[in-house]
């Protein structure tokens, strides 16, 4: 068995595995394109007879998806901005020094990372009600997401700062830069890629966030797409082609971003979680 033949065979098997694994995504898009009667046909058709492309603008209009998506973007951008501004500094300090206090800080950050949102939402809801933050529901969700996701961001970005050589910073200090100046003009630009990847991962998470938005936002005008999708799926629904169209519109930007930046996202993720 020659090397090329072996490689081709393995690639074929890999493609088959990927096809099986990603079948649910394929089924989402295909169902969206089917007519109401074709959707419930037995045996199911694996390619739509008459693709209903008009369902995407129709569902977008019907469900007011512009508003839902806008709210998702507002919540995700707000969370990422807050997390990036606060988390980058923390990650830098945690990467630069090594003593008992840093270990304690790291331990705290790692422990805060694991608190499940659905368990934390009860005290957060009550505290936000007491302090009046709940009058600004989207801000409340942004604060809650920032507290939940910042530890993850810190862990990822800290790994990036660890790989920036300290000699460069020291050289800048010798040249007369202040600490702040060296951080701003030497260390940050060198860590830019890692920060960007972590920010993208956080954005994707926040874009799909559900528990906090569902519990803290009552007004439908302020709800993000995840809550909209949940409300669309009643217990005995039979509008599956429309629901799948909603899901497709919601998830396609995330999938496109991921496929484009796949290599960087995967390497950024693995460096933070384990290494």
Q: Which one of 122, 185, 193, 218 is in contact with other proteins (CB under 8 A)? A: 122
Q: Which one of 18, 166, 168, 220 is in contact with other proteins (CB under 8 A)? A: 18
16 binds other proteins (CB under 8 A): no
136 binds other proteins (CB under 8 A): no
Cβ-Cβ contacts under 8 Å for 265 (sequence gap 6 or more): 197, 200, 201, 258
How far, in whole angstroms, is CA 4 from its chain's centroid? 38
- Closest approach, Cβ 272 to other proteins, in A, equals 9
Q: Which one of 69, 147, 172, 186 is in contact with other proteins (CB under 8 A)? A: 147
Residues 87, 91, 92, 97, CA torsion sign: positive
**Contact status, residue 130 vs residue 118, Cβ threshold 8 Å:** no
* Contact string 164-193 vs other proteins (x = CB under 8 A): --------------xxxx-x----------
| Residues written for the chain | 275
- Quick count: other Cβ atoms within 10 Å of Cβ 10? 10
**Contact status, residue 240 vs residue 39, Cβ threshold 8 Å:** yes
- Closest approach, Cβ 185 to other proteins, in A, equals 13
Q: Which one of 68, 137, 138, 151 is in contact with other proteins (CB under 8 A)? A: 151
Q: Which one of 62, 220, 254, 260 is in contact with other proteins (CB under 8 A)? A: 254
Q: Which one of 33, 69, 141, 146 is in contact with other proteins (CB under 8 A)? A: 146
69 binds other proteins (CB under 8 A): no
Q: Tell me the C-alpha distance between 195 and 151, whole Å.
A: 14
Whether the link from the prior residue into 43 is cis, omega within 30° of 0, is yes
- Closest approach, Cβ 208 to other proteins, in A, equals 2
Cβ-Cβ contacts under 8 Å for 85 (sequence gap 6 or more): none
* Contact string 38-57 vs other proteins (x = CB under 8 A): -xx-xxx-------------
Query: Using CB under 8 A, which residues numbered 182 to 241 contact other proteins?
Result: 183, 201, 204, 207-211, 214-215, 225-226, 229-230, 233, 235, 240
What is the residue whose two structure tokens read 């033949």? Answer: 5
For residue 232 the two structure tokens come to 């669309």
123 binds other proteins (CB under 8 A): yes
Taking the alpha carbons at both ends of the chain, their separation in whole angstroms is 37
**Contact status, residue 158 vs residue 116, Cβ threshold 8 Å:** no
For 24, the 3-state DSSP assignment is helix
148 binds other proteins (CB under 8 A): yes
155 binds other proteins (CB under 8 A): yes
Query: Using CB under 8 A, which residues numbered 71 to 110 contact other proteins?
Result: 86-87, 89-90, 92-98, 103, 105-110
Q: Which one of 71, 223, 243, 268 is in contact with other proteins (CB under 8 A)? A: 243
Q: Which one of 1, 100, 119, 174 is in contact with other proteins (CB under 8 A)? A: 119
Q: Tell me the C-alpha distance between 201 and 213, whole Å.
A: 19
């Amino acid at each position: 068995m020659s090397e090329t033949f072996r490689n081709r065979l393995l690639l074929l098997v890999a493609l088959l595995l990927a096809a099986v694994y990603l079948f649910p995504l394929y089924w989402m898009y295909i169902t969206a394109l089917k007519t109401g009667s074709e959707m419930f046909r037995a045996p199911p058709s694996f390619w739509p007879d008459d693709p209903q492309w008009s369902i995407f603008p129709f569902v977008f209009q019907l469900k007011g998806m512009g508003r839902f998506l806008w709210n998702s973007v507002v919540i995700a951008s707000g969370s990422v901005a807050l997390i990036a501004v606060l988390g980058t500094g923390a990650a830098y300090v945690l990467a630069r020094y090594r003593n008992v206090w840093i270990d304690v800080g790291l331990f705290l950050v790692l422990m805060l990372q694991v608190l499940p949102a659905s368990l934390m939402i009860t005290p957060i809801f009550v505290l936000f009600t007491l302090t009046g933050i709940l009058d600004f529901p989207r801000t409340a969700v942004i604060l809650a997401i920032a507290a939940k996701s910042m530890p993850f961001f810190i862990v990822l970005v800290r790994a990036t700062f660890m790989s920036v050589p300290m000699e460069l910073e020291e050289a800048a200090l010798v040249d007369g830069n202040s600490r702040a100046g060296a951080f701003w003009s030497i260390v940050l630009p060198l860590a830019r890629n890692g920060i960007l990847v972590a920010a993208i991962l956080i954005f994707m998470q926040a874009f799909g966030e559900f528990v906090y938005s569902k519990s803290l936002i009552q007004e439908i005008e302020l709800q993000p797409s995840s809550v909209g999708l949940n409300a669309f799926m009643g217990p005995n629904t039979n509008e599956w082609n429309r629901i799948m169209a909603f899901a497709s519109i919601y998830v396609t930007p995330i999938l496109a971003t991921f496929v484009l930046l796949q290599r960087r996202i995967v390497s950024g993720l693995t460096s933070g979680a384990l290494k």
